[in-house]
A and B are shown apart, each in its own frame.
Chain A
Amino acid sequence: MSEAQAVRPAEVAPEAAEEDPPAGRLQRIARLQALQILLLLAVTVGIFSVLKPDTFPTVFNLRGIVQNTAILAVLGVGMTFVIITGGIDLSVGSVLVFSAVVADKTMAAYGGTGWGTALVGAVVACLAGLGWGLLNGVLVAKAKVPPLVVTLGSLSAALGFSQIITKGLDLRDAPRTLVDKIGFGNVVGQVPALAVVAGVVVVGGIVLLHRTRFGLYTYAVGSNAEAGRRAGVLVDRHLIKVYALAGTLAGFAGILNLAFFQSTTIGGHSNTPLNVIAGVAIGGTSLFGGVGSVFGTVIGLFIPIVLQNGFIQTNVQPFWQQVVVGAVLVTVVYIDQVRRAAALRGARPGLAALFRRRS
């Protein structure tokens, strides 16, 4: 026994020598990924600013871009949580519409055009979203139905209910205060109210995900649910909470949508879940769970919108926008995959790793 003890210090040393400097490799990757996406966005903005200096980098244009991303950002926060747990939520677009319909009906019955009515509508919308979120969560956590299937089902059901309630006709009863102050109002000078509201949600999401136990458990469940369970984490209950969060945010997005479009837009938002998921993926959140950030999602959502805006301004045919966004999504996720695999193998993370033959 004593010889073993004498040998110990020397044998520990080589182990220590292979270790990384303070930041782990995967953590460096995550930082690099967020930086990379931000860089991509900056480069895109830069190019279009150079091509169209009079019209692209203007306050009006930037306001428009931010307004159009605001509602997606609110959805993106919830979606980030869900995807980090390794799940997915395809129902956000339909839940948004359903919540808007329910809120509209309630506000019309309540009457009035002031803040009181708007608040009632907002509460009802969030509750409607919460309801669908809880349903999704229970089916995923307790009935063990795969999230893709569950949320595909609620996508159809929510939209169906919306059409039953409205008989297929869009409702347009948004109170004036909601539209003027939130949908199109400004908070300070030129800052759109919609953006501020979305911003608050985003900041809340960042704090919740990165600083609280709720966020930690979200990562834990996505990383290794069984480990969490054995450590005493109530995994099922946590999953239900995460889907409930996503649903509530979709409901909130519904009232914001009503404020902006003054209509329940039943026919719209069929592509919205996919656009949000694309934004989440571009932003560095892994679709396999365990890794992700709300900040990355927001940047990831900006990129397709900025691309569309820039293409319209430079007169590129509309269909090219779809092609480029698709290419960006696949490229970014591919690069991310390669880097992660390289990091876990112990290779140096760099762009040239893409072109090196896999050993």
Chain B
Amino acid sequence: MNRRTAVGAGLAALALAVTAACGSDDNSSSSSSGGTSGSKSYKLAFIQGVAGDAFYITMQCGIEAEAKTQGATVTTQGAQKFDPTLQTPILQSVIATKPDAILIAPTDVSAMQQPIAQAKAQGIKIVLVDTTLNDPSVAVSAISSDNAAGGKAAFDAIKQLVPGGGKVLGVGVQPGISTTDARDKGFADAAKADSSFTYLGVQYSQNDPAKAASIVSAALQKDPDIVGVFASNLFSAEGAATGIRQAGKQDKVKVIGFDAGPDQIKALEDGTVQALIAQQPGTIGIDGVQQAIKALKGEATTTNIQTGFTIITKDNLDSTGKDATYKASC
């Protein structure tokens, strides 16, 4: 191998090193200012379900704020898609960095079971935030919204807006995601129990707004007299609103969305969505950090925490709704 190849390789190496160094500088999260109880500074890692999602960004803000208070450091990582085949290599890389605790939103109830068990085997404390696993005992705590109640609340919101009854449709994400499954079921049970409403079933958007839009458009073609649609997560709600707008039925169809990202708030203001069931991702994050630190200190943890939700409508947008809105950045 000649000298020139060596020089070229060296330049490439330098470029890589510079990128990595720059990267670590701008992305390291809250530094450890004076710790609260004078104990060591814990290293936490947060693995989102998907990157670029206002729900998980709000959770990240809550986590970072609480970590700062507790004197711990946090790193955040998330894959491009809500997909266990993408989340697993990220999880394994994070495990290798030997954090003290990992807060994770598993992207599949069974596919993530073993990789997360690997983390526990390395002595890392696990806290499940938002979604859960088939066997959550691998974690010290599982925190999520009371999703079943959220689904029921969504139905109640539709009933309030359309007291006469009619056909309702559910737009879910993908079976196997514990949170949206619970919401879909909560909504379905409530709708089936009410005789004045006809439940048209649930279809899955695969967490893709475009797919959600085409599902809703097609459903409206088939049943033009649908009165209400419940979209059980952020991207599905985005897509459902688009689909209704495309069909020109903004006034006829009531849409209840789950999650309150900036786009949904805008849709609420425009009137394409009538109500949003907002979770409290920030609170989930704060609780997550607290549980993790408790576990690390050897204190008792709470196995299951259910956080609440806020129903945001156009009326309360400026008052209670404001705090419940998700953030696009911290």
Given a CB threshold of 8 Å, the question of whether A touches B is answered with yes
Residues of A within 8 A of B (CB): 32, 35-36, 39-40, 43-44, 46-48, 51-52, 54-56, 58, 60-61, 64-65, 67-68, 168-170, 172, 179, 183-184, 257, 260-263, 265, 267-270, 305, 308-320, 322, 324, 350-352
Which residues in B have their C-beta under 8 angstroms from that of A352?
4
Q: Does B164 interact with chain A (Cβ within 8 Å)?
A: no
User: How far in angstroms is the closest Cβ of chain A from B324?
Assistant: 27
A338 to B9, CA, bound (A): 17
- Please determine whether B17 and A47 come into contact, CB atoms closer than 8 angstroms: yes
Inter-subunit contact A261/B84 (CB<8 Å): yes
**Contact partners of B97 in chain A: CB under 8 A:** 52, 55, 312-313
Q: Is B88 among interface residues, defined by CB-CB distance under 8 A?
A: yes
Question: What are 18 A-B contacts defined by CB distance under 8 Å?
Answer: A35-B1, A36-B5, A39-B9, A44-B16, A48-B20, A67-B92, A168-B204, A170-B108, A183-B114, A261-B88, A263-B111, A263-B176, A268-B81, A309-B93, A311-B23, A312-B93, A318-B80, A318-B90
Q: Main secondary structure on chain B at its contact with chain A?
A: helix
- Chain-A contact segment, one of B32-40, B71-79, B234-242: B71-79
Are the C-beta atoms of B20 and A54 separated by less than 8 Å? no
**B19 and A350: CB pair below 8 A?**
no
A61 touches which of B1, B96, B206 (Cβ 8 Å) = B96
Kindly list chain B residues whose C-beta atoms are within 8 Å of the C-beta of A36: 5, 9
On whether the beta carbons of B96 and A60 are closer than 8 Å, the reply is yes
Q: Is the CB of A320 within 8 A of B79?
A: no
* B83: interface (CB < 8 Å): yes
Give the residue of B8, B78, B96 whose beta carbon is less than 8 angstroms from that of A318.
B78
Whether B84 pairs with A268 at a CB distance below 8 angstroms is: yes
A-B CB pair tally, cutoff 8 Å: 153
List the A side residues contacting B122 at CB < 8 Å: 60
A324 to B23, CA, bound (A): 12
Contact B20 A51 (CB under 8 A): yes
**4 closest Cβ pairs, A-B complex:** A316-B23, A64-B92, A61-B96, A268-B85
Interface digits, B21-53 against A, CB 8 Å rule (1 contact, 0 not)? 101101110000000000000000000000100
Cβ-defined contact, A184 with B96, below 8 A: no
The answer on a CB contact under 8 Å between A262 and B111 is yes
Q: A54 near B12 (CB under 8 angstroms)?
A: no
Chain A residues whose C-beta falls within 8 Å of the C-beta of B77 in the assembled complex: 312, 318
Q: Pick from A39, A309, A316: contact of B19, CB below 8 A.
A: A316
Residue in chain B with minimal CB distance to A55: B97
Closest beta carbon of chain A to B194's beta carbon, Å: 26
* Chain B residues close to A by CB (< 8 Å): 1-2, 4-5, 7-9, 12-13, 16-17, 19-21, 23-24, 26-28, 51, 75, 77-86, 88-90, 92-98, 108, 110-111, 113-114, 118, 122, 174-176, 204, 206-207
Cβ-defined contact, A351 with B7, below 8 A: yes
Count chain A CB atoms within 10 A of each CB in B20, B79, B206 and give the residue with the most: B20
Q: Is the CB of B83 within 8 A of A267?
A: yes
The answer to whether A318 and B79 touch across the interface, beta carbons within 8 angstroms, is yes
Chain B positions within 8 Å of A32 at CB level: 1, 5
CB within 8 Å for A320 and B23 given contacts A55-B97, A168-B175, A309-B93: yes
Once the chains bind, are B20 and A350 in contact (CB under 8 Å)?
A: no
Q: A61-B93, A320-B19, A320-B23 are in contact. Are A55 and B114 (CB under 8 A)?
A: no
Task: Please give 17 more A-B residue pairs, beta carbons under 8 A apart, in addition to A268-B86, A308-B90.
Answer: A39-B1, A40-B12, A51-B17, A54-B98, A64-B89, A64-B93, A184-B114, A257-B85, A261-B88, A263-B176, A268-B83, A269-B85, A315-B24, A316-B24, A318-B79, A322-B80, A324-B19
Q: How far, in Å, is A35 (CB) from chain B's closest CB? A: 6
Cβ–Cβ < 8 Å partners of B111 in chain A: 261-263, 265
Smallest CB separation, A182 vs chain B (Å): 12
- Which residues of A are found within 8 Å of B17, using beta-carbon distances? 47, 51
Q: Give the distance in Å from the alpha carbon of A51 to the alpha carbon of B20 in the complex.
A: 9
Q: CA separation between A308 and B9, bound complex, in Å? A: 20
Contact status B175-A169, CB under 8 Å:
yes
B84 touches A263 (CB 8 A): yes
Q: What distance in Å separates the Cβ of A342 from its nearest Cβ neighbour in chain B?
A: 13
Contacts of A267 in B (CB 8 A): 81-83, 174, 206-207
A159–B225 Cα distance when bound, in Å, is 32
